[in-house]
Chains A and B, each alone.
Chain A
Amino acid sequence: MSKAATADHASDDNYLTNTKGIMSWIVTLDHKRIGLMYLIGVMVSFAIGGTLALILRAHLYNPQGSFLSNDAYNQVFTLHGAVMIFLFIIPSIPAALGNFLVPVMLGAKDVAFPRLNLSSFYLWCAGAVFFLFALCTTGLDTGWTFYTPYSTTTSTSVIAATTGVFILGFSSIFTGLNFIVTVNTMRPPGMTWFKMPLFLWAIYSTAVIQVLATPVLGITLLLLICERLMHIGIFDPAFNGDPVAFQHFFWFYSHPAVYIMILPAFGVISELMSVHSHKSIFGYRFIALSSIAIALLSFLVWGHHMFTSGMSEITTIIFSALTFTVSVPSAIKVFNWLATMYKGSISLTTPMCYALAFMFLFTIGGLTGLFLGTLTTDLHLHDTYFVVSHFHYVMMGGTLVAFLGGLFHWWPKMTGKMFNETWGRISAAIVFIGFNLTFLPQFVLGSRGMPRRYASYDPEFTGLHRMSTVGAFTLGFGLLVALIVLLHSLYRGKKAPRNPWGGATLEWRCSSPPPYYNFERPPVVGNPYYFGDLEYDAKSDDYVFTEPDREVVPQKLEPAPQHVDSKKDA
């Protein structure tokens, strides 16, 4: 088959159009379609969580609170946190972007277990429905942490919510398991571990944590349900249980979980910094190995959420020491990304703008972690707005901004459409300004003694709270602009070329959007960060690989049967 024919064929029959009708989506086994459905799911969740956040901020405009009762405030902040954590941020990059990209980056046709993949999506939906159930019935007011004995005694729907989280946990495990097997067994010949794109390293390390840590959450929540229903006496002191034990259980999952949230973001940023600097990533091995180091160390630091809870002195000090060790691999990554820019050929595209915003925000998030790892200062700052701000800098300034950067970066590949660059950059700028305006004042609030989860506050905190509220609405507006830019591109966007940014990883070698089977022929695996043979072609606004395809002569494949299959799938 000639080259031109391949291209034509791909362009009029891609994964979005190869089969039609709602059923072809509902029962699809195509990782790309599942990724897209996840994407819609997490974006809807984010919109819900974000609206709740704006309600909170609007309420906190006045020291006595504005319009919510205390009970309502507690329910709203719980739902905000729980929706953002369990429905948005954990599945965001791995399940939405990861599902789409992992097989394509491997040059493979799909993940190892497509059916498991689909069931993971439906489990996610089921878990989400349970959350909405909790929302529409009595409302949950425990905070996303479900601390006992409050959670074993409150009259709100803890059981529905934990069941939801339990199901979501399985969804997360399925996704993780799938990626581990996919990366282990389906790497193409020539792609050794150290030739994998860093995004895959990040997803792989994340998957390891998902599979190892999530079951502990499942067990914890089951025990919590048992405690509520049968008073088995493990967490509730009224029945001789120990509330601190619950915290150990809970954070044993939830601390690794924060790395489930951030590691994929590291992977995205590694790709973005390198591709948009058109220069090899600096320190590949250090970045790859630090992902693994973080995945392992993340299991050893859960106690730093409990420095004030009454652990023994020696335990506390050990956890403080371990906490400092995790900061090292994160710092290594940031330094390497900065070095990647040096003497590059930087294009300040929308994804790059988001990546630079990430660098700024994540660094602040990481550095403020040092205040919390140091015991003396933590005793003052724990459970104040300082902590709220810290985790928003890492989770929102980090993961969310990286997710947006990645979304803009791979959007042309996923949808086949280019978006408006000018407005994309404007959205990044508004998000950046709004974010800092929202959360910088919260550091000051925290060190001045403003406790978190307060529905009203002392008058001396008013000014800073108001700045924060104004910032939150700015931020919300910026995110709306980003959404409009993306949606607009679907209707008005130019057709995307194969490789609009000049990336060297395999996904840029298939057409945009990719055909059902991703690749007509197994692509040639090279160095994912070698940009020497990519030439910009102004006419098609595309980057093309200049080297002739190194076909191994006797290995001409017959692509024909595959297409027959793809039609049958509907």
Chain B
Amino acid sequence: MQTLQNLSFVLADVSDGFWFPKTASNFGTEVDFMYKAILWISVAFFVPMMIYMGWAAFKFSKPKGTKAEGKATHNTALELAWSVGPCFLLIWMFYRGSVGYLDMREPPSDAREVQVTAQKWSWLFDYGSGIMNPELHVVKDQPTKLVMRSKDVLHAMYIPAFRVKRDIVPGRYNILWFTPTIATDSLTDEEMQWKSDDPAEAGNILNQGKYFDFFCAEYCGKDHSNMQGKVVVHETQDDYDLWLESANRRPDDQTPEQYGEFLYTTRGCKGCHSADGTAGQCPTFLNSFGAEHEMTDGSKVAVDENYIRESILNPKAKVVKGYPPVMPSFQGQFNDDQIDSVIAYIKSLKK
């Protein structure tokens, strides 16, 4: 029964793009075309081959002991034909794939640049002038170039709707570019990739409108599967500017604690530090404010505003005993108001 339901799920989907999410970038058409071309070429080989095989297995099935009727052991002309023939199709695939690939590797010189930082297990997009955000915001029809770096291990930026993917290698800048062709607001509900009604997820989203998914595609450890985010494509530059203005500010209807919690979940603190006392790779935040911690050098430090601020900006200065010095610095990624909010949030974690 379950299987039947699943089957109808698949069939229902056939009509509106069985293979792909809706194409939303300049590369989509080419990639989808190649995919479908190879698919049909494959079908054109596979189906006759299998029909032949089924037919032969049936037709030449003989009782035990019957001698084979055919005596052929080879046929050089035929064999050369089926060795060389398909090569032309392969060359075409290779050629067209490579040309398309070169296009995907050369960002136009006027592309808008966004700096991307990936770390276990969060993303941060730097829009310049100190504006940072965990969502990727771009403008329709504007070429956008992502300059990506990783703070720890390999990650990969994958935006299925744009048909692009690029690894992010620590110690290098890796570049990805695309031109979005559809504004996310114009998506119908069906076209929306994200259908989650999980309130915990929704709470973390700044922009409550519509968006495309992006994923981390290179395995990066424990929360790899949660290393996802949203791409918002604005219809016009004005919409984008409007968003930009609001992006780095505490919303008027949020308390510093709430905003601090939001930053805690979206900026990567949550990946290591728990808020509920769970022991992990890093010290928990629960009841930490005001407590006294022993450092690796044996000194004792009281957790206060200054210590938290220092830990955020220069985490290796004082490391709590028993933990590896793995925390990256967040220098330049938080403004003062944001640091205050995080401190307010940590203060509020008391039980």
A348 at the interface (CB under 8 A from B): yes
Contact residues in A for B68 (Cβ distance below 8 Å): 277-279, 343-345, 531
What per-residue 1/0 map shows which CB atoms of B166-195 lie under 8 Å from chain A? 110111101000000000000000000111
Contact residues in A for B69 (Cβ distance below 8 Å): 343-345
A342 at the interface (CB under 8 A from B): yes
Q: How far is the CB of B326 from chain A (nearest CB, A)?
A: 8
A122 at the interface (CB under 8 A from B): no
Assess the A449–B158 pair: CB atoms within 8 A: yes
Assess the A444–B226 pair: CB atoms within 8 A: no
Assess the B60–A150 pair: CB atoms within 8 A: no
Assess the A455–B220 pair: CB atoms within 8 A: no
B130 at the interface (CB under 8 A from A): no
A-B contact count (CB 8 A): 297
From B79, B170, B228, A286 is in contact (CB under 8 Å) with B79
From B49, B102, B167, A313 is in contact (CB under 8 Å) with B102
Assess the A363–B60 pair: CB atoms within 8 A: no
Give the docked Cα–Cα distance between A380 and B21 (Å): 11
Which residues, 125 to 164 on B, are CB-close (under 8 Å) to A?
A: 152-154, 156, 158, 160-161, 163-164
Give the docked Cα–Cα distance between A285 and B74 (Å): 9
What per-residue 1/0 map shows which CB atoms of B184-221 lie under 8 Å from chain A? 00000000011110000000000000000101111111
Contact residues in A for B259 (Cβ distance below 8 Å): none
Assess the A344–B53 pair: CB atoms within 8 A: no
Contact residues in A for B167 (Cβ distance below 8 Å): 308-310
Question: How many A residues, CB 8 Å from partner?
Answer: 101
Give the docked Cα–Cα distance between A283 and B76 (Å): 8
Contact residues in B for A477 (Cβ distance below 8 Å): none
Assess the A451–B158 pair: CB atoms within 8 A: yes
Assess the B174–A310 pair: CB atoms within 8 A: yes
- State whether A308 and B94 are in contact (beta carbons under 8 Å apart), knowing that A374-B34, A463-B10 are contacts in the complex: no
Assess the B93–A74 pair: CB atoms within 8 A: no
Q: How far is the CB of B294 from chain A (nearest CB, A)?
A: 21
Give the docked Cα–Cα distance between A66 and B109 (Å): 48
B90 at the interface (CB under 8 A from A): yes
Q: How far is the CB of A218 from chain B (nearest CB, A)?
A: 23
Which residues, 518 to 560 on A, are CB-close (under 8 Å) to B?
A: 529, 531-532, 535-536, 538, 543
Assess the B160–A310 pair: CB atoms within 8 A: no
Assess the B57–A348 pair: CB atoms within 8 A: yes
Contact residues in A for B74 (Cβ distance below 8 Å): 282-286
What per-residue 1/0 map shows which CB atoms of B50-94 lie under 8 Å from chain A? 101100110011101111111111110011001100110011011
Contact residues in B for A242 (Cβ distance below 8 Å): 171
The A contact surface, by secondary structure, is: helix
Assess the A449–B61 pair: CB atoms within 8 A: no
Q: How far is the CB of B33 from chain A (nearest CB, A)?
A: 9
**Could you list some 23 contacts between A and B, CB below 8 A?**
A74-B224, A141-B221, A149-B170, A280-B72, A286-B74, A310-B167, A310-B174, A324-B91, A341-B60, A345-B60, A348-B57, A363-B50, A368-B42, A374-B94, A375-B98, A383-B165, A383-B218, A452-B217, A463-B5, A467-B6, A467-B7, A531-B67, A543-B65
Which 8 residue pairs spanning A and B have beta carbons closest together? A343-B70, A449-B160, A536-B65, A237-B171, A374-B97, A463-B9, A375-B101, A279-B68
Inter-chain pairs besides A70-B224, A458-B194, 19 sampled, C-beta below 8 Å: A237-B170, A282-B74, A310-B174, A313-B105, A331-B82, A344-B56, A346-B57, A346-B62, A356-B57, A375-B100, A377-B35, A379-B104, A380-B31, A448-B19, A449-B160, A453-B224, A453-B225, A457-B225, A458-B195
Interface residues of A (CB under 8 A from B): 70-71, 74, 141, 143, 147, 149-150, 153-154, 237-238, 240-244, 277-286, 308-310, 313, 316-317, 320-321, 324, 327-328, 331-332, 334-336, 338-339, 341-348, 356, 359-360, 363-364, 367-368, 370-371, 373-380, 382-384, 437, 441, 444, 447-449, 451-460, 463-464, 466-467, 470, 529, 531-532, 535-536, 538, 543
